[in-house]
Amino acid sequence: MKKTIFTALALLQLLFIAGCGGTAVSGNPDIVLIIIDSMRSDHMSMNGYGRETTPVMDSLAANGTTWTRAQAQSCWTLPSIASTLTGLPQRSHGAGFADGQVFGIDQALPTLPLLLKRSARYQTAAFFNSAIIGEELGFQGGFDFFDCRGFLGKDGIRDAGMTVDDFLKWYDSGRDPNHPLFVALHFFDPHLPYSPPPPYDSLFGDPKADPLFNPFWGSRYQVDGINRGSVHMSDNQLEIMVALYDGELAFTDRQIGRLISGLADRGTLYNTVFVVIGSQGEELLDHGGFGHGHTLYQELLDVPMIISGRGIPISVRNDVAAQIDILPTLLGLAEVEKPIWAEGRNLMAGDSVLIQRYVPSSNLVWADQDLLTLRFENRLVIGNPGDMEAVLFDLDADPDQLDPMLPSRDSKDQLYYFWSIPPRGNPRSAGIMDGTAGMLRDLGYVR
171-192 pLDDT, tens digit per residue, is 999 999 999 999 999 999 999 9
pLDDT at 131 over 80: yes
Q: Which residue has the higher pLDDT, 426 or 34?
A: 34
Identify the pLDDT of residue 62: 96
User: What is the tens place of the pLDDT at every residue in 228-259?
Assistant: 999 999 999 999 999 999 999 999 999 999 99
Average confidence (pLDDT) over 294-316 = 96
- CA-closest candidate to residue 74, choices 60, 62, 85: 85
Compute the distance between CA of residue 148 and CA of residue 35 in angstroms, rounded to an integer: 14
Identify the pLDDT of residue 447: 54
Identify the pLDDT of residue 264: 96
pLDDT at 14 over 90: no
Identify the pLDDT of residue 188: 96
Q: Which residue has the higher pLDDT, 276 or 434?
A: 276
- CA-closest candidate to residue 303, choices 54, 65, 36: 36
Compute the distance between CA of residue 299 and CA of residue 278 in angstroms, rounded to an integer: 12
Compute the distance between CA of residue 30 and CA of residue 183 in angstroms, rounded to an integer: 8
Identify the pLDDT of residue 194: 97
Average confidence (pLDDT) over 5-15 = 45
* Least confident range of 93-107, 197-211, 377-391, 423-437: 423-437
- CA-closest candidate to residue 79, choices 382, 371, 377: 371
pLDDT at 38 over 80: yes
% of the chain beyond a pLDDT of 70: 88
pLDDT at 16 over 80: no
Q: Which fold has domain 2-357+423-443?
A: Alkaline Phosphatase, subunit A (3.40.720)
- CA-closest candidate to residue 289, choices 354, 238, 254: 238
Q: Which residue has the higher pLDDT, 434 or 184?
A: 184
pLDDT at 438 over 90: no
Identify the pLDDT of residue 3: 46
- CA-closest candidate to residue 67, choices 326, 374, 381: 326
Compute the distance between CA of residue 160 and CA of residue 257 in angstroms, rounded to an integer: 11
Identify the pLDDT of residue 304: 98
Average confidence (pLDDT) over 83-97 = 96
Alpha helices in 158-283 (DSSP H): 160-174, 220-227, 235-265
267 burial type by CB count under 10 A (0-12 exposed, 13-18 middle, 19+ buried): exposed
Identify the pLDDT of residue 352: 63
pLDDT at 167 over 50: yes
What mean pLDDT is reported for the chain?
89
pTM of the model: 0.93
Give the CA angle between residues 312, 8, 315 to the nearest 5°.
Answer: 20
Supply the angle between the helices 112-120 and 326-333 in degrees, to the nearest 10: 20
Compute the distance between CA of residue 34 and CA of residue 83 in angstroms, rounded to an integer: 15
Contact 307, 277 (CB under 8 A): no
pLDDT at 344 over 80: yes
